[in-house]
Amino acid sequence: MESSRIPIKAIVSLFCSYMLLSHITTLSPTLALEDCEFPAIFNFGDSNSDTGGLAASLLPPPPPYGETYFHMPVGRFSDGRLIIDFLAKSLGHPFLSAYLDSLGTNFSYGANFATASSTIRLPDNIIPAGGFSPFYLNIQYMQFMQLKSRSQLIRHRGGIFASLMPKEEYFSKALYTFDIGQNDLGEGFFGNLTVQEVNASVPDIISGLSANIKKIYDLGARSFWIHNTGPIGCLPYILANFPAQTDEAGCAKSYNEVAQHFNQKLKEATVQLRKDLPLAAITYVDVYSVKYSLFKEPQKYGFELPLVACWVWWQVQL
């Protein structure tokens, strides 16, 4: 729980010392990150880090999203800023533009491929017929691949075009961030799988994530920052739909155990990725503990009703 009070900047500089160390100990020629400045961020994920992708491509989140900080909905499925917003700011960047947003975007300091309701695996039912984003992780990877090559063609046009695209060398120096997998678990639960069946699907979900990280590495990415999944059993959409035994925080115990199993497998996968990708620096970030503390000690963080959500009637009509 202590970790929740460590500012992101401190975590990032810890990460940088680690990078420096790995640079020295492996004498890797590509990790020229002594100054620890990531000139860009490329983010992959779901609503936990969507800064406008689903809003631009399919449907904008309605009010009251955004009312407290931005004073209007701004494509985030959150009232305030997201972790990725604070991360971008701590690196001295503006908020990340969503790759799918064709209006007013600037990708010179990175791009965000996350869309709300994205999964790692191909989902069975996709918006508008179903509930999940068509932009699952394999598609986000393909979008990244396109951005990587096409951005350089666009830069060659010069002028304003060049100023809107990342420099070629940013792709190896950037921070690659991931927060995805929560909806793979959710899809299982809402698809009427038992808790045990969803739990048993975890290794396959994780292998989808590892495969994409390897493909992104093969395109030159070196610094990876991977969030684990949050306590899904504390979310109102689980509590309201699936009666279950709850823990002392009021969260659905067995659902959180599945998230914990996911995180255990993810941690093992990062250990394996460090072996398979020798030039990569991979940081596993325990977001679960930080988020769980919001439910366990809500008053400490200024929350009154951590398990209650307001319901916005929001239907897709395409």
- The secondary structure of 187-217 as a DSSP string is HHHHTT--HHHHHHHHHHHHHHHHHHHHHHH
Q: Which is nearer to ligand NAG, 108 or 151 (CB)?
A: 108
Q: Which is nearer to ligand NAG, 192 or 299 (CB)?
A: 192
Distance CA 178, CA 137 (A): 10
Largest CA distance in the chain: 60
CB of 63 to ligand NAG, least distance (A): 28
Size of the site for ligand NAG (CB under 6 A): 16
Candidate ranges 40-48, 102-110, 268-276, 277-285; the one touching ligand NAG (CB under 6 A): 102-110
CB of 38 vs ligand NAG, minimal distance in Å: 14
- φ, ψ at 287 (rounded to 5°): -75, -30
Binding of ligand NAG by 118 (CB under 6 A)? no
Q: Any bridge partners for residue 111, and if so which?
A: 42
CB 58 within 8 A of CB 43: no
- Determine contact, residues 81/150, Cβ cutoff 8 Å: no
* Touching ligand NAG, residues 35-54 (CB under 6 A): none
Dihedral-angle region of residue 96 (phi above 0 means left; psi in -120 to 50 means alpha; beta otherwise): beta
Stretch in the footprint of ligand NAG (CB under 6 A) among 219-227, 233-241, 255-263, 279-287: 255-263
By CB under 6 A, name the one of 172, 207, 246, 254 that touches ligand NAG. Answer: 254
Q: Which helix (H) or strand (E) holds 17?
A: helix 8-26
**Minimum gap (Å) between residue 90 Cβ and ligand NAG:** 15
Q: Which stretch binds ligand NAG (CB under 6 A): 8-16, 190-198, 234-242, 296-304?
A: 190-198
Q: Where does this chain bind ligand NAG (CB under 6 A)? A: 94, 106, 108-109, 160, 163-164, 191-192, 195-196, 199, 254, 257-258, 261
